[in-house]
Amino acid sequence: MSKIAHYLQEHLLGEVTTSIEVRKHFATDHSIFSVAPSMVVYPRNEHDIRKTVRFAWQLAERGRVVPITSRGAGTDTSGAAIGEGIILSFPAHMHRIVELDLKTGATVVEPGINFGRLQQALHTHERFVPPYPSSGEYSTVGGAVANNASGPKSYKYGPVGAFTQGLRVILANGEVITTKRLSKRELNRKLGLTTFEGEVYRALDKILEENKSIITKMSRSVPRNSAGYNLADIKHQNGSFDLTPLFVGSQGTLGVITEITLDTAEYNPESTMIMASFDSIAALSEAVQWLQNAKVQPSAVEMVDGNLLQLVSRINPNLLKTAFTGTFPNALLFIEFDDSTERHRKKAVKGVVKAITNLATKITEAHDAQEQGKLWKIRHASSTVLAHSEERVKPIPLIDDGIVPLPHLAAFITDVYALFAASRLQVALWGSVGEGNIHAYPFLDIDSLGDRQRAFRLLEQYQQLILKYRGSNSASRNDGRLRGPLLAVQYGDEVNAIFKQVKTLFDPYNFFNPGVKIGVTFDQVRPLVKTHYSLDRIYGHMPRS
Ligand SMILES: Cc1cc2nc3c(=O)[nH]c(=O)nc-3n(C[C@H](O)[C@H](O)[C@H](O)COP(=O)(O)OP(=O)(O)OC[C@H]3O[C@@H](n4cnc5c(N)ncnc54)[C@H](O)[C@@H]3O)c2cc1C
């Protein structure tokens, strides 16, 4: 055991280990990268985290930088849940629901709580947190907040950040702060503090004031955007100020989250659903745009394309046998309404059917849970693709994010097909198309040098397409090591310099998740690509996406 691990073990209530087996486990997340930590800490409480961070700060002051990576379940696909130095693993002990206020619906949780478990507990009170990522059964709330995750219901309810009211965070020097929207007067009090917290408020306020016009220009016409730091939502025009949106989606690069206050919504298990078939992406795209302006907003608008159906029918012919006779459509749209009144849902469905009837080749309505289950099974056929491999060739989480404004959706998808055709790669598309967020995992053998080089070429070419339509490279899966190098290209050098300023302000010694999101290049991450990619750790579940 190293001196650092020894010191921590002596001073923490939680466990510290340098075991090779444990470090091997924590050397991977669900990205294509691998980085082995030097030790793993299982904090028992906030005090343990404060001590660990404070110790890292003291070491850094003496010139020794020991990175700290906070970690939930490690399902991150951008390579942000791995790192050298210390892994702080939350699910072991810090997984409690601290409070549930049934009057306001707000709940306070520790970051290591499994998202599915929280959801189950909330369901018993007819509440839920709607932006539930597809990985929710095997990932944590802390990871979802730090990634600003989204799920199918984000179409109506927004990303996890929209439900995050406030946080408790450990800053780089070990100070603990609470975040929430502050009035102008409350902000003034913070600005007067002589602590590191006060310094952070003062300097951040200055950065925001000095760069107002640049920050305004960062905005994209897309509903999900986790690229970079969310600078636009910190200070509002009325002078109110909130650090929460900054920490949400910051992937553990600015501090360690120890407690999360979430809003919840009324949970209604009843819903109504439509599955519509299209013979072109253009027709599907027109339907999606109509939905955007529909009177009653759906709760989810998802898609799979014909290539995915063909691929699934080849891998698992029985899965789609009863759903389709003859040829597959070129695209399928899944539209869900979760209004609590059945009459409203029926009316909404009627409106949609009328509006898209000339665009779709077939429309199926499902009003009861069993029928809906059958339709969702088709949408979730993407799981079959994710878990499939052909010899060493597998679907790789490389192009698993990216979002474009809806008016450009059809042109963008046409370009994606052309890109994959030019790269002689098969492509299957699925995702939250209602928001313009699609996934296209290329089938590659990352064990081979040739495919590894191909992967990065493809990623950069894909990014050019996103930029052509003024979209964002990171919608819900965030930047991490995979898309961090694309930030400067997406936003330009000026904005990237502001991100770096913010990072340095919060983390002057660069020990919170270094090499993630900010200040990272492809040259730095290329050597970290692992030789074997697999979802094996979550095969106990059906890996959804
Ligand atoms: C098959 C599959 C499907 C997926 N589907 C979705 C989806 O539908 N939507 C979506 O948004 N994502 C999806 N993801 C990505 C990922 O599962 C989610 O972002 C998830 O919310 C991450 O949670 P986690 O507990 O695994 O976090 P981790 O992977 O452990 O960590 C994620 C990030 O959060 C940081 N972090 C964790 N805890 C803390 C803390 N306490 N303080 C500060 N930082 C912290 C980590 O450092 C890391 O940067 C999917 C991944 C897979 C493999």
Of 112-121, 241-250, 290-299, 507-516, where does mean pLDDT reach its minimum? 290-299
For ligand 1, whether the C-beta of 142 sits within 6 Å is: yes
Closest CA to 111 of 157, 162, 45: 45
What confidence score (pLDDT) does residue 168 get? 98
Say how many Å lie between the CA of residue 107 and the centre of ligand 1: 20
What confidence score (pLDDT) does residue 218 get? 92
Tell me how far apart the alpha carbons of residues 21 and 37 are, in angstroms, rounded to a whole number: 11
- Count of other CB atoms within 10 angstroms of residue 391: 6
Closest CA to 149 of 71, 233, 243, 75: 75
Closest CA to 538 of 20, 29, 24: 29
Asked whether 277 and 262 are in contact (CB, 8 A), the reply is: no
Which letter does DSSP use for residue 257 in this model?
E
Asked whether 138 and 129 are in contact (CB, 8 A), the reply is: no
What confidence score (pLDDT) does residue 532 get? 85
The CA-to-CA distance between both ends of the chain, in Å, stands at 39
For ligand 1, whether the C-beta of 383 sits within 6 Å is: no
Question: Could you please report the per-residue DSSP string of 34-70?
Answer: B---SEEEE-SSHHHHHHHHHHHHHHHHTT----EEE
Say how many Å lie between the CA of residue 401 and the centre of ligand 1: 13
Asked whether 160 and 149 are in contact (CB, 8 A), the reply is: yes
- Count of other CB atoms within 10 angstroms of residue 248: 28
Say how many Å lie between the CA of residue 199 and the centre of ligand 1: 30
Closest CA to 47 of 170, 177, 197: 170
Give residue for tokens 């944590």.
140
For ligand 1, whether the C-beta of 37 sits within 6 Å is: no
What confidence score (pLDDT) does residue 390 get? 82
Residue nearest to ligand 1 atom 50, measured at CA = 135
pLDDT surpasses 90 at 519: yes
Say how many Å lie between the CA of residue 318 and the centre of ligand 1: 32
What confidence score (pLDDT) does residue 164 get? 98
Q: Is the pTM of this model over 0.85?
A: yes
- Count of other CB atoms within 10 angstroms of residue 159: 27
Of 29, 71, 154, 179, best ligand 1 pocket probe by most atoms within 8 Å of the beta carbon = 71
Of 75-84, 198-207, 390-399, where does mean pLDDT reach its minimum? 390-399
What confidence score (pLDDT) does residue 335 get? 98
All domains in the chain, ordered by first residue: 3-92 (3.30.43.10), 97-266 (3.30.465.10), 272-386 (3.30.70.2190), 394-528 (3.30.70.2740)
Closest CA to 122 of 79, 163, 150: 163
pLDDT tens digits for range 83-113: 999 999 999 999 999 999 999 999 999 999 9
Which run of H or E residues covers position 438?
Answer: strand 437-439
pLDDT bracket for residue 51 (50, 70, 90): very high
For ligand 1, whether the C-beta of 81 sits within 6 Å is: yes
pLDDT tens digits for range 159-187: 999 999 999 999 999 999 999 999 999 99
Percent of the chain exceeding pLDDT 90 equals: 90
Percent of the chain exceeding pLDDT 70 equals: 100
Tell me how far apart the alpha carbons of residues 80 and 69 are, in angstroms, rounded to a whole number: 8
pLDDT tens digits for range 364-410: 999 999 999 999 999 999 888 888 888 889 899 999 999 999 999 99
Which run of H or E residues covers position 107?
Answer: strand 107-109
Average pLDDT estimate for 22-49: 97
For ligand 1, whether the C-beta of 477 sits within 6 Å is: yes
For ligand 1, whether the C-beta of 77 sits within 6 Å is: yes
Of 31, 88, 135, 248, best ligand 1 pocket probe by most atoms within 8 Å of the beta carbon = 135
For ligand 1, whether the C-beta of 167 sits within 6 Å is: no
Closest CA to 345 of 269, 414, 262: 269
pLDDT tens digits for range 443-466: 999 989 999 999 999 999 999 999
pLDDT surpasses 90 at 277: yes
What confidence score (pLDDT) does residue 326 get? 80
What confidence score (pLDDT) does residue 170 get? 98
Tell me how far apart the alpha carbons of residues 531 and 456 are, in angstroms, rounded to a whole number: 15
pLDDT tens digits for range 299-355: 999 999 999 999 999 998 888 888 888 889 999 999 999 998 999 999 999 999 999
Residue nearest to ligand 1 atom 28, measured at CA = 74
For ligand 1, whether the C-beta of 30 sits within 6 Å is: yes
What confidence score (pLDDT) does residue 323 get? 83
For ligand 1, whether the C-beta of 436 sits within 6 Å is: no
**SS3 assignment, position 453:** helix
Torsion of Cα atoms, 340 then 433 then 312 then 337, to 10°: 10
pLDDT surpasses 80 at 1: no
